Chains A and B, each alone.
Chain A
Amino acid sequence: MSTTANETLTSPDLPKETDGKAQALGKKQSSALKLPTKESAAAAKRRERILTVLVPICVIAILIALWQILVTVNDIPHYILPGPGLVVKSLMSDWPILLPALWVTTKITLASLALALIGGGGMAILLVQSRWIETALYPITVILQVTPIIAIAPLILIYAPSTQSALLICAFVVAFFPILSNMVQGLKSVDHNLLNLFELYGASRWQTLIYLKLPASLPYFMTGLRIGGGLALIAAVVAEFAAGSAGAGSGLAFRLLESQFRLNISRLFAALFLLASLGVLIFALTSFISWWTLHRWHESSLKREN
């Protein structure tokens, strides 16, 4: 009994090691490989859960150790590649500089994402109202999307009242499109039979929107949210690179550039660490919102039952 139990316990965990990191970032993976043996099933599940946390932590720990070894063995100077210890030190000592910068970047990212959600969602609803509105407006949004933001940024910087608002506009422009296009897709792919049903029951345009089209396009909206969240952060950083703002109101991107110029590589790594953390946090948050709103009914949030 114990040997068979062990086999079923270990075999599903093996392939997990490679993608354990991705899983920790919030990817939902159905445990399709699980072989249910009555008593071991619960234990296997618990063990799997522990492993999905432990495995990525171990991998990261090993990578950090390798980094330290690389730096020590090759005697790499700290202005080229600082060791992990130095980065942590710099993260703590430069905290008064990095924290306000982190806050600025977070604010711009979240504010632009919120604007993009409202704007993209609203625009999508407007676009699907009539073919003519769509014909008139959609090409403009596409042009706005395909032009690299870094190329528009200087213009936006000139016309925007302040650097902060310019960054906000840049991040908004980038996050806006995936939300818009996903939402349009969602609003258009409503089940035709359900549309017929609403027509049969004499639903008004407004009722059809509220009770049918919006809920039906929620999964698409959530996809837009997850993509838009990541892109907003990227755009906020890219726009700040272009703006090159300095002083009190500057974000993490400026601190990155500044550290590079001053060859303060350990601070650069610290800023990078904060940016990555912010990105992971946004990803986790949007994934959670998506799961929370859809898990009761949508296929994407369900575990396979067999």
Chain B
Amino acid sequence: MVIAEQGSAETKTPSARSLKSSRPLVAMDNVSKVFSNGTLALSGMSMTVRPGEFISLLGPSGCGKSTALRIIAGLGGVSEGEIDWPSFRINSRGLPDGEISFVFQEPTLMPWQTVFGNVYLPLRLKGVSKKAASERILTALESVGLQDFAGAYPRELSGGMKMRVSIARALVTEPKLLLMDEPFAALDEITRQKLNDDVLALWKATGITVIFVTHSVYESAYLANRIVVMKARPGRVHSDFPLHTSLERDVQYRTSEEYRQACAEVSTMLLEAMGGEEH
């Protein structure tokens, strides 16, 4: 049994942490979002994010994955329903104050800053001096294997390396929650696999919670320990289930029967979600 219904034994996964005991990080309750042009992007979406999870938000394009992610990040409010961040410091605007990092589909680097300057940004905005931040920046760069490129400008880096800088910038604040919006969609397959492995390694090493938006079934099945499949027009949750495997997620897992089966199950779910559109 690869895919279990939610709530069944979760302790098999080596990386599964005490999920039930702690407070949730994010609680979305019946959230709807209407854009200013009248489009209903999300309708009645509910989802709870618990510490230590690696959630993959999967769905056809236009299903509101990115919108949901932006709402979780506190970028742009909700039209209806409620979202709460029980484990975060809340600022005067009622939004989480730091501790959430975002990795966009594009590397989103400042071209006039070096790699160091780009990773320094979140700390600089918090008023941390360059000297005090230096060690943390270099640690973050080391964690993505870019310690030798601190002085380089973004234009001198490859697409994959730019993405790594973007991840280092997200990690430098030591966030509790890392949101990734189709981060590697624009990269070639080999670079993408390498970066997926690196993100998994970081997740295991730091205990950070990740929400990873993707439209790739294979990426979902490889990375996540919980999959949320979304349905389009309007965007809502179609199915939400944990993905268990006793296997380490590595090269062997990629070729294993269990992975193949997981892909098949996730594919079925996605097809179901997309089939609903035609009715």
- How many chain-A residues does the 8 Å CB contact rule pick out? 22
CB distance from A30 to the nearest CB of B (A): 15
- How many chain-B residues does the 8 Å CB contact rule pick out? 26
Q: Does A196 touch B at the CB level, under 8 Å?
A: yes
Q: Is the interface of B mostly helix, strand, loop or mixed?
A: loop
Q: Does A296 touch B at the CB level, under 8 Å?
A: yes
| Chain A binder among B16-24, B106-114, B220-228, B247-255 | B106-114
Contact of B112 with A218 in the complex, beta carbons under 8 Å: yes
Q: Does B142 touch A at the CB level, under 8 Å?
A: no
Q: Give Cα A197 to B119, complex, Å.
A: 12
| Chain A binder among B34-42, B121-129, B187-195, B260-268 | B121-129
Contact of A196 with B112 in the complex, beta carbons under 8 Å: no
Q: A194 to chain B: which residues have CB within 8 Å?
A: 108, 110
- Neighbour of B125 across the interface among A191, A207, A215, A296, CB < 8 A: A207
Q: A215 to chain B: which residues have CB within 8 Å?
A: 110, 112-113
Q: Does A95 touch B at the CB level, under 8 Å?
A: no
Q: Does A298 touch B at the CB level, under 8 Å?
A: yes
- Neighbour of A302 across the interface among B104, B113, B155, CB < 8 A: B155
Count of A-B residue pairs with CB < 8 Å: 57
Q: Does A17 touch B at the CB level, under 8 Å?
A: no
Contact of B121 with A297 in the complex, beta carbons under 8 Å: no
Q: Give Cα A20 to B122, complex, Å.
A: 47
Which B residue sits closest to A200, measured CB to CB?
B102
Q: Does B178 touch A at the CB level, under 8 Å?
A: no
B237-256 at interface with A (beta carbon < 8 Å): none
CB distance from B222 to the nearest CB of A (A): 26
Contact of A200 with B91 in the complex, beta carbons under 8 Å: no
Q: B121 to chain A: which residues have CB within 8 Å?
A: 197, 201, 211
Q: Does B135 touch A at the CB level, under 8 Å?
A: no
Q: Does A94 touch B at the CB level, under 8 Å?
A: no
- 25 A-B pairs (CB sep. < 8 Å): A193-B106, A194-B110, A196-B70, A196-B102, A196-B104, A197-B108, A198-B125, A200-B73, A200-B102, A201-B121, A201-B122, A201-B173, A202-B97, A202-B98, A203-B125, A211-B121, A211-B124, A215-B112, A216-B110, A216-B112, A218-B112, A296-B112, A297-B112, A297-B153, A298-B112
Taking beta carbons and an 8 Å cutoff, which residues of B are in contact with A?
70, 73-75, 91, 97-98, 100-102, 104, 106, 108, 110-113, 121-122, 124-126, 153-155, 173
Instruction: Please list the 4 inter-chain residue pairs (A to B) with the smallest Cβ-Cβ separation, ordered nearest first.
Output: A193-B108, A215-B112, A297-B111, A203-B125
